[in-house]
Structure 1
Amino acid sequence: MLSHAEIMALRREVRFEWSRKDTMLYALGIGMPSDPLDERELAFVYEPRQAAMPSFVVTPAFNDGLGDLIGYDYSQVLHGEHAFTLHRPVPVEGRGTARLRMLEAWDKGQGKGAVFAHETLLTLDGDDTPFARVVTTAFARADGGFGGSTAPQPAPHAVPTRAPDRTVEIATHRNQALLYRQSGDANPLHADPETARRAGFSQPILHGLCSYAICLRAVMASYCDHDPARVHHHAVRFSAPVFPGETLLVDLWRDDDIVSFEARVKERGVTVIRNGKTVLKQAERC
């Protein structure tokens, strides 16, 4: 394991590109459209008026994080939090450069693990200003004791204590993880039954970033008429896995331009997404 100073100095720059087919495949992988006759959702998978889901920005450079440079034990790593911020809508196709840097490495102590947060800035060719910022946080359960920060982590977004303003039900499909993995996350935990059993699961689990996007679908359907241009920021904390085929109940609270949310599995009553926050643009029109 590197020292804290060495970890904080880590940088990486990678090229990326995606096509219209990639944005459509991503939308299909997160379960869109729920109804093929819903023309608002159909736009994300149909060429004549194609749009890209805002959460697509988590896929470029997904496999080029900083974990391999840090040297932590991937078998003991949990996906903790994820967030993106958009400065402009996501184009349906593009190429550019992803620039990664460490934000912080919190050290919980020897035998207690560590939390690592890194930033990815996405810039399109011909434009010097990043159009998106993605922040990934991972909990490395086996890698504390390297002299990292002992300061408290930033407090997560607090959802309101009142009853949800509305709840959106979205079913996942038994084969959804197999489809979502075509967008870049080929971890066998999401496809191979034996790998899942060795990890302590009865079957392969759905990608956390698929559940992340499903929550955004609920927000957009409820408050933005599926308009991707109205999404500025989307952040969650992962708390439990989802199995493909389960149904998510997304509880939503809206306060001005902020939509808070949590998600739970209908069949098991388990909360799988906590402290969710989406910031909307042009909230007065949503």
Structure 2
Amino acid sequence: MDIDALRRFRFDRTRQSYSQKDSILYALGLGYGSDPVSADELRFTYEQDLRAVPSMVNILAHPGLWVQRPEFQMNWRQLLHAEQRFDILRPLPPEGEISADYRVTGVVDRGADKGAWLYLRKDLADATGQPIARVSSTYLLRGDGGCGMFGTPEPALSSLPQRPADRVLRHTTLPQQALLYRLSGDLNPLHASPEVARQAGFDRPILHGLCTMGIACRALISALCPNEPGRLRHLSLRFSQPVYPGETIETEIFDADPGEVRFRARVVERDVIVLDRGRAALAPAVAPALDEMESAPT
């Protein structure tokens, strides 16, 4: 990898208009709608009083497959998405216009035989320039160790409590889940082409890591704030193993400090942890308005 070319590189600002249909498609890509009579799920899949799933900030204004740019000389087929985190500064509306400013914030060289960490940050804003979210991605460049380093790494994610989870939620993915999810913008062929998947060391296409993260976000909202998804303010985690479409994901939630939980996700069929070191933070619940309290049945 040419680390000097990467250090000098500047992304163009990315802009995107998205509609209610895009928000619904993203939610369907996470499996929302599997229970057709659930009011909690309908909130994200029906245009009446529609809400956007907070983890949608991960995929809005996608920069494309920029790692394939020839000047970087990056072994992009050996790239793994290692960690992801986002902070919601204002609740994401279900439709609108947004812009994204991307930058590589650092590279940490682990040695010629161990690869390198690459840190990418995205700042999302609405059409007026008001910040909406900050999204940070950590990638492991398995084939680019010994390249040198620059910048600042993201803070380390801490281990989970060594005790049983306080809540466990289960979601079964569809065999075609990756093909549906990729319509929201991430067209990496690893998630569609069996040939590309085999070249990357997998026996078949795998589910997008950000789809697995979105399913965990779905579980957290359902367990913690089903009527107020806008309360979710922070989510961070480590991708530890891939998920194959059709597998069942259990999200294990551990109560922590006030306004915070820890979590991980497990594939039931193989009994492997696929998301680890998860942390979620929520804003306080909104007190009902006085007129709502007065009109409530007694």
Answer whether TM exceeds 0.5 for this pair. Answer: yes
> Which range moves more in the overlay, 190-199 or 65-74?
65-74
Q: Distance in 2 between matches of 1:74 and 1:152?
A: 20
- Residues 63 and 153 of structure 1: CA distance in aligned 2, closer, same or farther (over 3 Å): closer
- Residues 228 and 65 of structure 1: CA distance in aligned 2, closer, same or farther (over 3 Å): farther
Q: Distance in 1 between matches of 2:185 and 2:221?
A: 24
**2:265 is the counterpart of 1:266:** no
TM-score (norm 1): 0.92
TM-superposed deviation, 1:278: 0.9
Alignment check: 8 A CA contact 2:103 2:120 kept:
yes
Residue in 1 that maps onto 2:136: 135
Alignment check: 8 A CA contact 1:106 1:153 kept:
no
TM-superposed deviation, 1:166: 1.2
**2:178 is the counterpart of 1:181:** no
TM-superposed deviation, 1:237: 0.5
TM-superposed deviation, 1:130: 1.4
Residue in 2 that maps onto 1:229: 230
Alignment of 1:180-259 (within 5 A): 180-255=181-256, 256-259=258-261
Residue in 2 that maps onto 1:49: 49
TM-superposed deviation, 1:66: 5.4
Residue in 2 that maps onto 1:3: 3
SS of alignment partner, residue 11 of structure 1: coil
Q: Distance in 1 between matches of 2:261 and 2:197?
A: 34
Query: Hey, which bits of structure 1, 4+ residues long, moved more than 6 A?
Result: 150-153
Q: Distance in 2 between matches of 1:92 and 1:43?
A: 11
TM-superposed deviation, 1:59: 1.1
* Residue type of the alignment partner of 1:2: D
Alignment check: 8 A CA contact 2:106 2:153 kept:
no
TM-superposed deviation, 1:41: 1.2
**2:81 is the counterpart of 1:82:** no
- Residues 231 and 65 of structure 1: CA distance in aligned 2, closer, same or farther (over 3 Å): farther
TM-superposed deviation, 1:151: 8.5
User: Which structure's CA Rg is the greater one?
Assistant: 2
* Residue type of the alignment partner of 2:230: A
Q: Distance in 2 between matches of 1:88 and 1:271?
A: 31
* Residue type of the alignment partner of 2:127: D
Q: Distance in 2 between matches of 1:224 and 1:253?
A: 15
SS of alignment partner, residue 23 of structure 1: helix
SS of alignment partner, residue 131 of structure 2: coil
Q: Distance in 1 between matches of 2:26 and 2:39?
A: 17
TM-score (norm 2): 0.89
Q: Percent identity?
A: 41
* Residue type of the alignment partner of 2:18: W
TM-superposed deviation, 1:150: 10
SS of alignment partner, residue 181 of structure 1: helix
Alignment check: 8 A CA contact 1:113 1:142 kept:
yes
Alignment check: 8 A CA contact 1:65 1:100 kept:
no
* Residue type of the alignment partner of 2:185: G
TM-superposed deviation, 1:272: 0.5
Structure 1, gaps ≥5 residues long: none
Alignment check: 8 A CA contact 1:264 1:273 kept:
yes
Aligned residue-pair number:
283
TM-superposed deviation, 1:281: 0.9
Alignment check: 8 A CA contact 2:106 2:151 kept:
no
SS of alignment partner, residue 49 of structure 1: coil
Q: Distance in 1 between matches of 2:175 and 2:227?
A: 25
**2:103 is the counterpart of 1:104:** no
Alignment check: 8 A CA contact 1:15 1:98 kept:
yes
Alignment check: 8 A CA contact 2:78 2:200 kept:
no
Alignment check: 8 A CA contact 2:119 2:154 kept:
no
Alignment check: 8 A CA contact 1:108 1:150 kept:
no
- Residues 108 and 16 of structure 1: CA distance in aligned 2, closer, same or farther (over 3 Å): same
Alignment check: 8 A CA contact 1:14 1:64 kept:
no
TM-superposed deviation, 1:85: 0.7
TM-superposed deviation, 1:149: 4.9
Alignment check: 8 A CA contact 2:88 2:133 kept:
yes
Alignment check: 8 A CA contact 2:264 2:278 kept:
yes
SS of alignment partner, residue 131 of structure 1: strand
TM-superposed deviation, 1:129: 2.9
TM-superposed deviation, 1:157: 2.7
SS of alignment partner, residue 215 of structure 1: helix
